[in-house]
Every structure is written in structure tokens, then in C-alpha cells.
Chain A
């Protein structure tokens, strides 16, 4: 059971001028698999996501999407790949990732029209998408400013699904949502996974990821310090940073990890980056 992975990242390095944001990350996603990437602000998780879709140029390493090597692609090659709609991306902030001057319908039509589909077929597809994310057809003529936060996020997810991607990168998809909408979004991601779409779910919050992800990768200071099945990572974390993350989760569980132990772990990370 080892079909060709839909995404394979090997020894990926990204530099922002002098800052070494990603130091040799490896990540493999099998078709239909959901991989959670967790880490704190500045750990390089957004950089990883943006490098995968070509918004950031890696300084070294390989990225393979559905068998195609993409790290060396230039403008035209990327455009051709993106028009096939194999990979899609859901941004963190649903308000800013929708053009304020375009109606819901225009935003949803965009990826389909870019692909060159005829307008009528595209409009039909938009209606299917709305149904899939459970949005009312009345909303088609609305502007993003006239929607609620949860509705907006569902529009951006519908847009990402328009081209029937095999892989969707979710960059902090629930951070901007309130509790009720967060639960609904997470349920929807589970449905999406069950339907066979591979997901890379990026978050700083282990709790959001743990319910959806098959595997979890922990990013710390630009390196993946721990990776394994969700259950293992959550129940038997090996790396000090993972233990700290689980210990810091604002749930009742965190009461179990004493404050002194958390400080001890922090100290450990400060001195040597933690044991492997």
C-alpha cells in the first residue's frame, strides 16, 4: 500500500534574506490522507505551506506534487500546473482572501473561468459547490462584506474545492472563526477527508488538528522535530516541544502538566533545542 504520494517535500530550505525560516523540512502526504502541521508563530509553518504552492521560492530542496517536480518551476510552469487545479489553498483570513468588490458568485466562478470552462457550465458548478458547503443560493449576489465570518470561510473553502483538487492546503483555517463555526468547519474537513481529498492542515492549535488529522508533524524553529500518527504524537510525545505544546493546550488536560514541568521543558528547549 504505497501509491504515489500526492505531495512529497524533501529537505526543503527557505531563506528570507538572512533569516533561515525552514531548515530541511520533509513531509509526505498520501492520496486522501490528512496531515496536520502544528507549530507556534514563526515556526515556519506558513512558509512551508506557501513554498508548497509556489508563493515562496525555496532556496534548496525538492517538492513533488502528484509526481511533478515543482521547486524549480518558473511563472509559466506554475500557471499551467495551477490551472489543472490539483492543489488548492485556503487562507487564514476569509475576509481578506475574498475580493471586496466581487460577489460570492464572481469569486466562485473565478478559478473555473481561469481554467477556461464555459460560463454556463461554471455557473452550474458554482451552485453545486454552494450546496456542498451548505450555503444558500440567495448569497450568490452578496459581497463578502455582507456575509458572516462563517459564511465567508465556507465561500473560500468552496472556491478551493471548485477545481476538484487532490490536495488542499488549509493555512490556519479555523483561527479566525468563533467556537461554533470552528466546530462546523472541522466537521466539514472530516467530510472532505472521507470523500478522498488529501489535506495539509496547518495550525498552532493541536486541539483543532487532532480530531481531523491521520498524522501530525510538529514544526519547531524551521525543523520538523516530530512526526507520527496523531494518536502517538498526542498520547506519547517524544520531543520536548511537543510535550510543551500539549501541556500548554488551554483544556482541562493541561492541568495535569504542572507549571514547574512546563518551565523545565522551556528551559530545556532554550539550552539545546530539545532531545530528538
Chain B
């Protein structure tokens, strides 16, 4: 469906390349991403295509090697937000008052919780590591997803067409699958695209607390943070990690828009007219 739109094809293409990097990156890296050298802060050359960093490590290798951790982290954040935010958000409309009340108060609590305190507490309880760090981020963004999903569900739950389905004997599951999900998906897809971008940056910002990715292990966000410290020597250096993060976030946003366009009523109408035009031209 998404592939019928040009923007959808571009987005899927870029995300496909990123996924490929995540799988193959550590294998095709030309140098050891952790091995330093005497040649520090070097400009791009045949040996080091993107130069070296402040410890003489090959930047290209560090970006390639860090792609798996970065992408997996962002995906994990998105999945946690979906499960912890979107699912209760939809169900809060249908499972009755007690469930609604409890989940609403939990969402309020999470919004009020200071991020760093929560991060430190989780690390103390579950130990230090990337999954734990991404768990923290996922939980912290889930109230947003809860709210968005709940608002979208509420807006359709009392509509006459849902009542018509109920009068035909539809179960809650049927109503959610056939009517609610399509209305919830577009705003969720947009929020998800944004969150993925935030995820990359947050992974590196947690590093300074000693949480999540431990130096010297590379991530895109980590490489970017390190480059920013040496701007006066290599003002161009942040461009490479920035380009990677931006391309991913942009592709996510593009995909979100494409999903919105093909699932929404406007998009369906658009595709219909295109099909009609195509049919006319074929004649």
C-alpha cells in the first residue's frame, strides 16, 4: 500500500539501506572501531575515508560499527512505546472505568517523573546496559503515545458508525480492528517517527551518566557528541553522523506521512483517483 506512493518508496528504500547497515555494518567496517592510532584528528584520506577522531580511531568504521546498536536501540524505544503506550491507550476507552482511571493516573505519574532520577533508579534495579537504557527511554515517552492513542480512539468510539457495528453484534476486538485502528495509526506513526529521532540522540546523552552504551563502544549519537568537542580542529566532522541520523529520521517521517496518506480517507480517495487515471491512460 505504502509503496504506491513515491514518498513511501523513497522512505522504505532509505530505511532498507539503514537496516542493511545495522546488519552488515560491523562486518564491513574497514578498521577496528576501537583501535586508536598516532594519526589523530586526520582529514579524510584513502586509508580513512572519513578521517580519524581524537584518539586516532577510524570514523567510518565507528559509524558502521555503531549502526547496529543505534538502530536496535531506536527500534526498541518504538516497540516499548507501542506496547506500553498505544495498547493501553486504546483499551482505556473500552475496558471500563477502573482500568481507565488507573492508566490515566500512571500516565500522569510518568509525565511528572524526572527522567534522570528514573534512569538511575532503573539502572540500579536492572543493571547497566543498552536494553535497560532504551527501556527507560521507551517508558518515558509512552505517556505521549498513550494520550495520542486514547484521544484518537475517543474521537471514534461514540460515532454512529461504531454504534452501527455494535448493533450488528460486533465485539470490542472487531470494532478496534475494523474502525478504531485505522484512525489511531496515522497520528501514532507521526509520533513514532519523531520518537525514533529522539531515541538516537538520547542514547548518546545517557552515556555521560554512565548509563547505556559504555565508551569506547561507538554509536551514531556518541560519535556526534565526540566530534562536537573538536569543532575548532575539524569543523566538518559532525556532518557524517548528523547525515546518518537525519536521513533515518527523515525517512521515518516520510514513511509516517505515507502511512497517514494511504490509511486515511483522503489518501484512499487519492489512490482511487490515481487508479482511475491510470485505467483511463491504459485505455
Q: Which residue of A lies closest to B162 (CB)?
A: A99
B45 close to chain A: CB less than 8 A? no
In-complex Cβ contact of A100 among B163, B164, B265 (8 A) = B265
B170 close to chain A: CB less than 8 A? yes
Inter-chain CA distance A145–B166, complex, in Å, is 22
Residues of A within 8 A of B165 (CB): 110, 114
B255-279 vs A, Cβ < 8 Å mask (1 yes, 0 no): 0000000011100110010000000
Stretch in A77-85, A201-209, A236-244 with 4+ CB within 8 Å of B: A77-85
Inter-chain CA distance A96–B179, complex, in Å, is 13
Whether B268 lies near A96 (C-beta < 8 A) is no
Residues of B within 8 A of A80 (CB): 169
Once A98-B161, A101-B183, A110-B178 are accepted as A-B contacts, the answer to whether A146 and B269 lie under 8 Å apart by CB is: yes
Q: Which residue of A lies closest to B181 (CB)?
A: A101
Residues of A within 8 A of B163 (CB): 55, 91, 97
- Report the minimum CB–CB distance from A56 to chain B (whole Å): 11
Interface residues on B, range: 20 to 34
B171 close to chain A: CB less than 8 A? yes
Q: Which residue of A lies closest to B156 (CB)?
A: A99
B159 close to chain A: CB less than 8 A? yes
Residues of B within 8 A of A145 (CB): 265, 269
Inter-chain CA distance A96–B169, complex, in Å, is 19
Whether B168 lies near A96 (C-beta < 8 A) is no
Q: Which residue of A lies closest to B269 (CB)?
A: A143
Q: Chain A: how many interface residues by the 8 Å CB criterion?
A: 33
Inter-chain CA distance A115–B264, complex, in Å, is 27
A163 close to chain B: CB less than 8 A? yes
Whether A53 lies near B167 (C-beta < 8 A) is yes
- Residues in A95-131 with C-beta less than 8 Å from chain B: 96-102, 107, 110-111, 114-115
- Report the minimum CB–CB distance from A88 to chain B (whole Å): 7
Most buried by A among B160, B163, B167: B167
A89 close to chain B: CB less than 8 A? yes
Whether A115 lies near B160 (C-beta < 8 A) is no
Inter-chain CA distance A101–B272, complex, in Å, is 12
Inter-chain CA distance A146–B265, complex, in Å, is 10
Most buried by B among A96, A100, A101: A101
Inter-chain CA distance A244–B264, complex, in Å, is 48
Most buried by B among A99, A145, A163: A99
A45 close to chain B: CB less than 8 A? no
Residues of A within 8 A of B265 (CB): 100-101, 143, 145
Residues of B within 8 A of A99 (CB): 161, 178-179
A93 close to chain B: CB less than 8 A? yes
Whether A79 lies near B171 (C-beta < 8 A) is yes
B236 close to chain A: CB less than 8 A? no
For the A-B complex with A55-B166, A88-B168, A142-B272 known, give 11 more contacts whose Cβ atoms are closer than 8 Å.
A88-B167, A96-B159, A102-B178, A110-B165, A114-B169, A114-B170, A114-B174, A143-B265, A145-B265, A146-B272, A156-B164
Subset of 22 A-B contacts with CB under 8 Å = A55-B163, A55-B166, A79-B170, A82-B168, A82-B169, A83-B169, A91-B160, A91-B163, A91-B164, A97-B161, A98-B161, A99-B161, A99-B178, A101-B264, A101-B265, A102-B178, A110-B168, A110-B170, A110-B178, A141-B272, A143-B269, A146-B272
Interface of A toward B, CB cutoff 8 Å: 53, 55, 79-85, 88-89, 91, 93, 96-102, 107, 110-111, 114-115, 141-143, 145-146, 156, 159, 163
| Across the A-B interface, the 9 shortest Cβ-Cβ residue pairs | A83-B169, A82-B169, A111-B168, A97-B160, A100-B265, A99-B161, A91-B160, A96-B160, A101-B182
